[in-house]
Structure 1
């Protein structure tokens, strides 16, 4: 085909001005087009051919310039110059990007740098761990690294808790012991103390617990003795216990100022500790002949006496007594009856209040009210009647017995009055008088007074009834 075109051009020469520029005006372009149309004499395979080689060269130059300008216009995204469809230079026109989709999905660097590969092999980005299935091998230490240190190869990093000093010890351990008095769980205390770095202050734990228990109740002292027995082994050792009790014996003159019975209580703690095998049996004997303080001597004598009594069959395990919630009901009822009998004999209401508090059973005070009223019904004379009313008055004013417990005690008597009347024929009459006096002294309210049961009078049939009693409706 190229040979035919060349033969045709040679046979039809066309004159062309070689001095014209590649960029011509519109008239010259039109003129050239007319000249080209005149020189066209044939069509080969549907393609129009120019009449001279110079025209072909000129067309190639125009096409090349047009492609160059079109490429520049696509880079400038419509800014600058562009060519029209005829190849003319057009200024100030905005041409939209030819392929925005290709620009949007292009993963090559926008700065023109890089090799055009995806970022980090397709596994990078924020929050990405790496390629799926990639296994990281342990990093090998480079011995040629200038920051390499041989001592760092066998390093083990651990969380270090600084040891407690004297200032922080009491602030940290005191709340733990006080909370233990409420829940009574020795395992929780052992876990909390194990998390602390006690260091040299480890022997101060028993002395702090005992000093707090001296000012607390008997049930708290029992809990303290159990705590010391459970801590010896997991947290403390026997030498720590001995150091702690030695410190307590030295501080007895100061402890007596706050707790007058501290020497006797300390002797009970020592005897219980020896019994629980957290102190050696020779601990008391080690103080013989070298005790100058009278309080220390009294504490050691008390401990020695208790240990001798334990050999004779007396148990020291429950020397402090158990808390109200841990005691059997029969034992509580027995102690309340003893308390009432002592009060009737002594008439000391303050002592009765203190003894009732020491029982530590505020939820069981209705039993105390019940037993007191039954004692009044079974008694003879006015002494018990008046003394129980005075005791109820003082207990209600001081709120030792709450209104609810007082009400429950009276209601229990109301329910059992029929059975009590079997043994005490005048029980209904005495109860009505006692309830009325209680209402007048503001011990009970009107509703509780109106609930008091009363026994109806017996009515006989007139003349000839033969002693028959009328049935009550």
Structure 2
């Protein structure tokens, strides 16, 4: 349309006098020929137009053509044709047309196609990462790149962890061992150690685990022996184990300061390691004749004695004992019965308390209370009655047995008293006396005392007693 208007304007030039709004002068009135020619020019498509309407029509055409040319010139950034102030076309103007801010920031298509959405779905343009969820394929290497290297195509990139330094070894591995004492999963420890680049500090793992176990419980030492057996071969080698135990023997004078029984405990670890085939059988014999420290000699002697006992038939695979949560219930019940029988013979309350604490089953102390009361019901005489009452009083005062565990133990006896009474006819009577004495000494409270069952049968006396009702239970 703009090209048609421009061609029409070039074919029909309009002089300045056509655009003037002044009246016709006298000279023009006298020239009839000029007026007739002008009237002929004012006839368009068979319609006669006045001079003023003709000028307005041509001015509108010029303004419309000028607007279209300005719009086309703004698209090619100043290159092309434009119009000057008087309407003349100017070629090759370098001045960039101004456009509103909204036009600069608008990324919609101006071609008149589509629904007015952003180009390429919002993934196009400079500095754009692409649409969300787009997966890029492997980038091809450009052989014409100045930085191209032939060996670059065969490179394999891996994540390499730096070797663990000595100053960071203890604070990195100690939490792993301490957490293992809680869950007891050797596979998790092996995975965590495999992720670390131990490097030359690999042989320090067994010595650190044993040193932590020396200050822990017997069940933790058993877990440490199992851990060393599972790590040998997969994470640690036999040479790492031997060098680690060599370090333990050298550090025994320092370990004795914190753990007086360290030589005997280290000797048990060595014997257990030889039994589990972590250490060679000639490990102890290699130290003969070249040991000057008394603590090292004591540890090696302890290990040698245990290995000789193993040859005689004694099993050493469970020398530390298992933790309370890992033992079978029948074994715990048996050990508690042995503990009570030993206490009845010796009368040592502190030793009985220590043995109960070493079982490491605070959640199972109600079984100890149950077995103690049943022993009182089945005993003959007052000796067992008084000794068990003193033991329960001492354990309750020291909080070795909690109030909840004590209550559960008494309630279990209340529930089984009917079956116990079949074997022990006087069970109800002895239980009532024991419960009253327990309440008087402060072992139980009034609620537990009131729950004590009594024999429900009331015996009516025969006619020889005059019909008097006896309220005794027997």
Scaled by the length of structure 2, the TM-score of the pair is 0.75
Shift, 1:28, TM fit = 4.5
Output one character per residue of 1:4-63: Cα deviation in whole Å (capped at 9) or x when no partner: xxxxxxxxxxxxxxx97345421348999x94598559989x53589xxxx9xxx89x94
CA–CA separation in structure 1 for the residues paired with 2:136 and 2:226: 57
Question: What aligned pairs does 1:379-394 form with structure 2 within 5 A after superposition?
Answer: 379-394=379-394
Following TM superposition, by how much is the alpha carbon of 1:428 offset from its aligned partner in structure 2, in angstroms?
Answer: 2.1
Distance, in Å, in 2 between the alignment partners of 1:160 and 1:48 is 93
Superposed counterparts of 1:69-468, under 5 Å:
69-73=63-67, 105-106=109-110, 124-125=124-125, 126-128=128-130, 138-142=140-144, 145=146, 147-148=147-148, 154-455=154-455, 456=457, 458-463=459-464
Correspondence 1:28-47 to 2 at 5 A:
28=23, 35=35, 39-40=39-40, 46-47=45-46
> What CA deviation, in whole Å up to 9, does each residue of 1:234-263 have, x standing for no partner?
111001000100011111122122222211
Equivalenced residues, count = 410
RMSD: 4.1
User: Structure 1 residues 42 and 236, CA, compared in 2 at 3 Å: closer, same or farther?
Assistant: closer
**What's the secondary structure of 1:26's corresponding residue?**
coil
Larger Rg: 1
> How far apart are 1:156 and its partner, in Å?
3.5
In structure 2, C-alpha distance between the alignment counterparts of 1:29 and 1:376, rounded to whole Å: 145
Residue 405 of structure 1 deviates from its aligned partner by 1.4
Flag the 1:351–1:29 CA change in 2: closer, same or farther, 3 A: farther
Query: Distance between the aligned counterparts of 1:405 and 1:244, measured in 2?
Result: 43
1:20 and 1:379 map into 2 onto residues whose CA distance is 141
The 1:292–1:128 alpha-carbon spacing in structure 2 relative to 1, beyond 3 Å, is same
**8 Å CA contact 1:70, 1:82 repeated in 2:** no
- Unaligned regions of 5+ residues in structure 2, if any? 1-13, 72-82, 87-99, 113-117
Tell me, yes or no, if the aligned pair for 2:122 and 2:130 is still in contact at 8 Å. no
Contact 1:73–1:81 (CA<8 Å) still a contact in 2? no
Give the match's secondary structure for 2:22. helix
1:332-381 CA-partner distances (Å, limit 9, x unpaired): 11211111122222222221111111111222211110111122222333
**Partners in 2 of 1:75 and 1:20 — Cα distance?**
21
Q: After the TM superposition, which of the residue ranges 323-332 and 284-293 deviates more from structure 2?
A: 323-332
Report which stretch shifted further, 35-44 or 445-454: 35-44
Any gaps of 5 or more consecutive residues in structure 1?
Answer: 1-18, 84-96, 109-117
Structure 2 residue 25 is matched with structure 1 residue 26: no
* Aligned-partner SS, 1:27: coil
Could you tell me the TM-score, scaled by structure 1's length? Answer: 0.75
- CA–CA distance in structure 2, aligned partners of residues 446 and 352 of structure 1: 27
